[in-house]
Every structure is written in structure tokens, then in C-alpha cells.
Amino acid sequence: MASKKDLKKDIDMLMSMVLNDCFYVLEYNPKIDAKAVMKIAESIMEKHSEFRLRVNHPDGKDNPKLVKKYYNELAADVLTVADEAFEALSAEVKKVA
């Protein structure tokens, strides 16, 4: 299993990539629905905080198998949330294209 430190860095990197894309779209596409894009950015910021808290509080600390499963599920959740945010942002861009 990777370290908690690396997992936190991965969460930070992935969530910042989504936020960067949101702000890029807002900056360079004046026709975009700014409220919808900001809603995506807000949800990413909330999820970022949630994921960082989840890293520090694993379930089943006594059982290594449960801990490994917990962190695998956490990593999958992070990827799912980032993918959904990118899809939502892409949909907003396609509306004005």
C-alpha cells in the first residue's frame, strides 16, 4: 500500500486539476454558464476536504485487510468524483460549442 502522504498528494493533484480546468473554462469561454461551472468547482472543493479527512480515519485499524480495502475504495471514489466532474464540465462546454 502506498503511504498516506502519497495518497494525500494524489488527491490534491487530481482535485486541483479539475479546479484548474473549471477556472480555465471560465476565463476563456465567456458564453459558458458560470453558475454551473462554479457549482462543479464548489462540489470538488467539498469532496477534496472529505477525501483528506477520510485518509486519516480508516475503518478497521486492527485488520490490515480491511484497511487495504478501505484505501482501495477511497482511491476509487477519488477517481470517480474527478471523472464525474470532468464529464459535467465537458457537458457544459459542449452546450455552448
Residue 97: its pLDDT value, please? Answer: 79
Spatial separation of the C-alpha atoms in residues 47 and 15, rounded to whole Å: 9
Residue 24: its pLDDT value, please? Answer: 97
Residue 3: its pLDDT value, please? Answer: 87
Residue 91, Cα to own-chain centre: how many angstroms?
17
Spatial separation of the C-alpha atoms in residues 7 and 92, rounded to whole Å: 30
Distant-in-sequence, close-in-space partners of 88: CB < 8 Å, separation ≥ 6: 40
Of 33, 22, 18, 19, nearest to 96 (Cα)? 33
Q: Is the pLDDT of residue 4 over 70?
A: yes
Tens digit of each residue's pLDDT (9 = 90 or more) over 45-94: 999 999 999 999 888 788 989 999 999 999 999 999 999 999 999 999 99
